[in-house]
Structure formats: C-alpha cells, structure tokens
Amino acid sequence: MRNLNLEINSYGFGQDFAEETMRQIMNGCSGGRVKCIYHQNELPKEFAYIGKVAGNLIATDAELELRLSPNVIPGDAFRFEPGTYWFGAIDNRTRLFSTQIGSLEKGRIYKYCFETRLRESKKDREQIATATLRYKFQGQQEIITQEIFVNRTKEEFRYFMKDDEISGWFSWLDGLRTNDPKTQMASLQARLKILRRDGADSAQIELIEKVINKLSKEGTLDGLSEVEKRRLRASDISRIGTRVNR
C-alpha cells in the first residue's frame, strides 16, 4: 500500500475487529488512521462523514516541518488533532521535526504540540522556530513558511501564567507516554473535560468516566476488557460534526 502513492485510512466494524493487526498493516501509509465503529446505529453517519470528507479535500501530499531555533532546548512532539499521537523526542542535534500529514481537508483543524525550553535571554521578543507546510494543490507544489516568536519577560508573576486550554491538551497527551497512575488520571480527566465541552460521542464519554472511577478505586487499569482497551486508544477527537474555531 505504501507504493500506491495514495492516502489510506481504515474503518473497522464490530466488537471483534482486530485493531492492533490493522494498525500494523497501516503502519507507514500516508494517512494511516484506524477507527473502529462499535455500534451499528453509527454506520450511516460514519459513511455520510466519509463522503463529506472526500468532498472537502483541498490539497494532497501535505508535510509539516518545524525547525527549532538554536536557543531552544527540544522535548517531545505530539499530534493532538486529528487523532492523538506521541512522536517521541525531537533530535537535539538536528532540532528538526517533520511528519507526513497526507491530504488536507477544508474546515478541519490540525493541532501539533511541542515541548520546549528556552535558554536565558535579555531579549523582549525572540524567534523560537520556523514552521513549514508543503502540499500539492491542483498538481502544483505549494510551500507556506511561518516564523514563530514568543515574548520574554523578567516579571516573575508571569512565569506562572498559563493557557488553561493548552495545559489541558498537554495533560491529555502526557498519558500517551507513561503508565504512571497519577499521570494517567490527570490525562483521563483532561480528556473527559475536553470531550464533554466539545460534545463528543456519549458512549466514549461513559467509557472515560468508567475508567476514571476504576483508576481512582483500584489504582490500576488492569482488568479492562480488550474491547474497552481498544476504545480507550481510539481517536475521539475526529467525529461527526464541526468543531468551533476559537
């Protein structure tokens, strides 16, 4: 499939769908997302969504690149939407992150999160990275480049100021790279808050509530059924409907 030069995604149906096997098959494919549909009543909406997505594709072969500035100490990279994913640490030598996105969809939000630390500086404003998006539009290669700056401050009270929404993203994503119970609890609670706010699938919300209750009582996620584990790993950001741009 990798040699077809196509974006390929996979839908699975029913409780016995072998999600892990399909993920291995899809590994390395452009697109490469795997989604399991557990309830038959969701099928019409899902297929309607597939048709809608096909009509919304506006570009192909998209690739995102982020090159960090010399004054930045790189950490881990994540995708938050569509579908959460942990890429691991950015190479401290190259200071470069890149990923294949595939097709770009009109109206869809794409979110990537990066951990970084800044070295001390006397500057009030400093460039920390350059982001580059490459894609094909009507057969032509297009490139968009955006320099990224941050404001610096010596006012200590500002050190503790944070954006609650972005903090919630990182709390959720932190659960992707560790099985520590405290981290998992914070991740699940952040995930539940976001899903409730965004009107996500009620069955997925109920599952997260159940898992939080189990973790708080037993201190472990051992004992979850294979179906529950698959649903817990499933992407619940991508769903029917439109997310409001903020």
pLDDT digits (tens, 9 = 90+) for 148-194: 999 988 888 877 888 899 999 999 999 999 989 999 999 999 999 99
Share the mean pLDDT of the chain: 84
198 in the same domain as 138:
no
Mean pLDDT of 78-86: 89
Full-model pTM: 0.73
The answer on pLDDT for 234 being more than 80 is: no
Mean pLDDT of 99-109: 89
Across 2-11, 13-22, 49-58, 101-110, the highest mean pLDDT is recorded for 101-110
Peptide bond into 181 cis (omega under 30): no
Q: How many domains does the chain have?
A: 2
Whole domain around residue 98: which residue ranges? 57-153
Question: Among 108, 126, 153, where does a domain finish?
Answer: 153
Question: Among 119, 153, 187, where does a domain finish?
Answer: 153
Question: Among 100, 130, 153, where does a domain finish?
Answer: 153
* Residue written as token pair 């200071």: 95
Residues 6+ apart with CB under 8 A from 130: 66, 67, 69, 145, 146, 147, 148
Residue 142 covered by a domain: yes
d(CA 23, CA 244) in angstroms, rounded, equals 30
pLDDT in tens, 48-67: 766 666 677 889 899 999 99
Is 81 within 8 Å of 237 (Cβ atoms)? Answer: yes
